[in-house]
Structure 1
Amino acid sequence: MATVQTDMVDPQFKVGMKFSDCKDFRSVVREQFIKRNRDVVFVRNEAFKLKAVCADPDCPWEIYAFKMQREKTLQGNPIVKSSWLSAKYMETLKSNPSWPVSLFMETVEKDYNTRVSRQQVYWAKERALRQIEGIYTEQNSRIWDYCEELRKTNP
């Protein structure tokens, strides 16, 4: 994990890299884009959560940073999204829907050597549980179709 001090001459992004504040994060991101002769767009620019993307539609690069709990720093995370987390841990949540958010966070940190925010994990869990509930609801609604098909094929 990087320290709060960031090399402004040649910034290298790493998962878990920390920034002292939003201004520092924006400066480092701009520096990277200037060096690569590309434009950057900050699509989410809040005090506790930032997202920067490449302005070129053919460029898939994006990075997220969020305020760390109980710290005065931001942590960058170029790959982890709540949608990715919900998909990755869907089976675990299916078998343990009451999995505590704190344990979910610890598991992600251990599995991928990156820290995620409580909000990311909370929304990932909510998304997964809604999807799981939808699967069960859909299956239950189709039971009548199945019964009707049985009656037709096996009178």
Structure 2
Amino acid sequence: MNHRPLLSGAVALAAGLALAGCSDSSSGDKAADKAADKPELKVAGAFMPEPAMDTMASGFFTVTNKGGDDKLTSVTSSIAQQITLHSTKNNAMKEQKSFDVPANGELDFARGGNHLMFEELKHKPKQGDKVAVTLHFEKSDPIEVEVPVKAATYNPKPGKHASH
């Protein structure tokens, strides 16, 4: 009996399975790479100083990212007609369309720097209130945050934000 065709078939089958295994693992690697590129966002230290004016307020927080890069594109809340993103450099405030959330980094909104401007407030929040805010990102799902209203003079030390 000639076993050569049977052996050839077994070798071809084993080679085919090995190649299929290789292509599966390479697509698995691509999926793993894609997962590593996915942002992992967390918001902490959110606060709104009690506003002095009836029409405007500011907001601050830190977004920590343990994944790939993302971008904060807008913020919404039922308390204001509009919420705009601002940076402050050299004592000049400038409206921004978006803010980068760097891969494995932070986006910090703090007094004297990046901040939110709540414009045309529907009612003036008081110290002790909580304001519901939704952060919208380019890649990640929106994040809802309860922003506590603090004393007008409240100013936490950098990097000491409490988690929410």
Choose between structure 1 and 2: higher helix proportion.
1
TM-score range, shorter chain: under 0.3
* Greater relative contact order (CA < 8 Å, ≥ 6 in sequence): 2
Between Structure 1 and Structure 2, whose CA radius of gyration is higher? 2
Output the TM-score relative to the length of structure 2: 0.22
Choose between structure 1 and 2: higher strand proportion.
2
Output the TM-score relative to the length of structure 1: 0.23
